[in-house]
Amino acid sequence: MKSKLTFWRAVFLVIMGLGLYSAFIRYFRGLGAVSNMTDQFPWGLWIGFDCLCGVMLAAGGFCVIGAVYLFNVERLHSVVRPAVLTAFLGYLLFIVGLLFDLGRPWYIWHQLIYMNPHSVMFEVGMCVMAYTTVLFFEFLPNVLERFNLKTPIKWIKKIYAVLVILGILLSTLHQSSLGALYLIMPSKLHPFWYTPALPFLFFGSAIAVGLAMTIFESTQSAKAFGRHLELPVLVELGGALLVALWVNALLRFEDFFHRGLLGQIIKPSYEAYFLWLELALAFVIPITMLSFKKVRLSPNGLYLASIFTVLGFITNRLNVSLTGFETYVGHHYVPKWTEFSVTLMIIAAGFALFGLAVKYLPIFPKETHAGEQRLRTETGPMAATAVLGHAGD
Amino acid sequence: MSKALLYDATMCIGCKQCEAGCAQQNKLPYDDTVAAESVQSEHKYTVVLTKDDKFMRRLCMHCEHPACASACPVGAFHKTKEGPVVYDVWKCIGCRYCMVACAFAQPKYEWHSLNPRVRKCIMCPDRVLAGKQTACAEICPTGATKFGDRDDLVKEAQDRIRQSPSTYLPRIYGLNEVGGTCVLILSSVNVEEYGYPASAKIGDTPMPEYTGKVMSKVPDFIPVWSLVLGGIYWISHRREEVAAAEAQEQEQKKTGSAR
């Protein structure tokens, strides 16, 4: 166990080292030196993955908060704190990613004074700013509890209903607006992905991925931090995920059908291959899996189905932001290694911060010591989280 | 009245004086190497392209309803009433949404600068406001690039087509494309061959309308959605209160009967 720990710690350090090197290149040599972005491809991996996917992956926060506080589904209460933590970290890291991608990040505050209400980007920016603030207050009780500060917790409890409603309102707005960003490019984005329904599709996929990510991170933390897995909660989430996937699949089908693309999408082409990959990962595989009761009741089945869902919708957003432009531009965009390494560094930082938060804050309810023993017996890819969780030690 | 440029490709001799004039006006480097470059870039706002023995100029179209201006979150681009679409560098945060949004792919970026700016033809706003013509129109030896009021130039272009229908294709590129542009192009071959987006593809609808349809709903959506969410919250928690009250009543009854 000891050597394994060191191995993963080494991986973490290597990722951080390369990331810092790339960050140096970014800020001292410019965007041109650090990335393969060009005038033809002004948006690359950092927008496609760090921003579009990052915000989607952090959607679990508003999904779970909505279920528990809006619809009063008490059974999911135990996943509220980890989901809020993931969302808060997700949005903070999204902002970090943005600071890499923006050409003049030191002027990011201009958003607040030079407002252009016609711009979708303006709306996304304002919502993300406001929502990160809401998440901060939703997350704050964890810290206050840790230091036993009871009065401010009471204040937050008093405004919690407002925070809940505001959070969901802002999430609805910016999750869908991320899709609306692309509405202004009807002549550039490939018809497979350009659709007036983009805002709806982005919102729908955020909910599916939010649920999938909650399953994923609950299982992952159970394995990594040796926590007892609350199967009934996961089963509940899995059922909701199945419904969300069906709704998404139906939306997608309706969209292709109404735009008369059903004939085109089954014909092999460069775009079609990527579309098939996306549809298989996001819909065919997880829907088939979750349709079996046996899978819906098994922690490993739910875990796998959630991973497929997440990968599928990541593929979807990368298709919208990258693949969909290649035919228009006339050449491929492959991110430079330094772009990947910045993204990896941000992800690794996310894992590490999650681990630190779980370690020092009351994110999960207190457990007996028996649970801790289980951690030591867990193996496999989950070790990564375990170690990254300890990386900050 | 809005000013515009009429570029008549059949009159162009490919001397690239417009490139040189533009570079001088905008304080950009210009020598034989730059002249030989056949792509627009952060140091080349306009380019004269050659294909067979024909020429074609490319530059910012100065749309009547510019996508870049509607896309920019901080309003660093705006359309002046005189015609030029101009850029306020001090507002820019560098998100490059303008570059992605532009149907003509005109905004270029200083990729190797540490404080990068978006670069494109801004139609010499200082000169235009002073009542002068743009640098490229002034320097053009054949009148292929002509500066004037947009309405007059449209009429003139229509006249030229009418007078020599064998020379020109019967279209003015930019007349209606994306709702009309302040650069109008006459030519004997399709502009699409030189990298201009096809009229059919970009259509006559101003690009900002595609996002405007969604953005215009936001002010109504916010209060309505808040009310819906608040209503759901109230109902689901009201149920809880009622259930709690009923349970308490039952409890009281029980204790009452026990006594």
How many domains does chain A fold into? 2
pLDDT in tens, B169-197: 999 999 999 999 999 999 999 999 999 99
* pLDDT recorded at residue B157: 95
| A343 touches A46 (CB < 8 A) | yes
B149 in any annotated domain: yes
Given CB atoms, is B230 within the 8 Å cutoff of chain A? yes
- Beta strands per DSSP E along chain B: 3-8, 47-51, 54-58, 77-79, 85-87, 108-109, 118-119, 145-149, 183-186
Given CB atoms, is B93 within the 8 Å cutoff of chain A? yes
Asked whether residue B123 falls in the same domain as residue B41, the answer is yes
Given CB atoms, is A40 within the 8 Å cutoff of chain B? yes
Percentage of chain B beyond pLDDT 70 is 98
* pLDDT recorded at residue A89: 95
Asked whether residue A207 falls in the same domain as residue A305, the answer is yes
Q: Give pLDDT < 70 ranges for chain A.
A: 1-5, 366-393
Asked whether residue B40 falls in the same domain as residue B142, the answer is yes
CATH of the domain at B147: 3.30.70.20
B162 in any annotated domain: yes
Given CB atoms, is B130 within the 8 Å cutoff of chain A? no
Asked whether residue A176 falls in the same domain as residue A87, the answer is yes
Instruction: Please indicate whether, in this complex, the C-beta atoms of A184 and B67 are within 8 angstroms of each other.
Output: yes
* pLDDT recorded at residue A5: 62
| A17 touches A342 (CB < 8 A) | no
Residue B213 φ/ψ region, left for φ over 0, alpha for ψ in the -120 to 50 degree band, beta for the rest: alpha
- Residues of A with Cβ-Cβ distance to B232 under 8 angstroms: 70-71
The C-alpha of A187 sits at a distance from chain B's nearest C-alpha, in angstroms, of: 5
∠ CA A135-A137-A139 to the nearest 5 degrees?
A: 65
The C-alpha of B253 sits at a distance from chain A's nearest C-alpha, in angstroms, of: 27
Please give the average per-residue pLDDT across B208-237, as a whole number.
Answer: 92
Report residue B98's pLDDT band, with 50, 70 and 90 as the boundaries: very high
Helix (H, G, I), strand (E, B) or coil at B3: strand
Given CB atoms, is B228 within the 8 Å cutoff of chain A? no
pLDDT in tens, B62-81: 999 999 999 999 999 999 99
* pLDDT recorded at residue B237: 85
Instruction: Please indicate whether, in this complex, the C-beta atoms of B113 and A30 are within 8 angstroms of each other.
Output: yes
pLDDT in tens, A109-141: 999 999 999 999 999 999 999 999 999 999 999
* pLDDT recorded at residue A98: 94
| B78 touches B86 (CB < 8 A) | yes
Which range marks the domain in which residue B252 is found?
217-258
Asked whether residue B223 falls in the same domain as residue B99, the answer is no
Instruction: Please indicate whether, in this complex, the C-beta atoms of A165 and B229 are within 8 angstroms of each other.
Output: yes
* pLDDT recorded at residue A9: 86
Report residue B137's pLDDT band, with 50, 70 and 90 as the boundaries: very high
pLDDT in tens, B16-55: 999 999 999 999 999 999 999 999 999 999 999 999 889 9
> d(Cα B224, Cα B204) in Å, to the nearest integer?
33
Report residue B241's pLDDT band, with 50, 70 and 90 as the boundaries: confident
Q: Could you tell me the pTM of the whole model? A: 0.90
> d(Cα A305, Cα A294) in Å, to the nearest integer?
12
- Residues of B with Cβ-Cβ distance to A123 under 8 angstroms: 215, 218
Provide DSSP, B102-134.
-TT---EE-TT-SS--EE-----HHHHHTTPPP
The two three-digit tokens of residue A222, written as one number: 């159970």
Given CB atoms, is B49 within the 8 Å cutoff of chain A? no
The C-alpha of A113 sits at a distance from chain B's nearest C-alpha, in angstroms, of: 8
- The domain boundary, picked from B207, B230, B247, lies at B207
> d(Cα A128, Cα A166) in Å, to the nearest integer?
12
Asked whether residue B164 falls in the same domain as residue B239, the answer is no
Report residue B257's pLDDT band, with 50, 70 and 90 as the boundaries: low
Asked whether residue A213 falls in the same domain as residue A180, the answer is no
B212 in any annotated domain: no
Query: Which of B67, B116, B233 faces A31 most closely, judged by CB atoms?
Result: B116
Asked whether residue B27 falls in the same domain as residue B149, the answer is yes
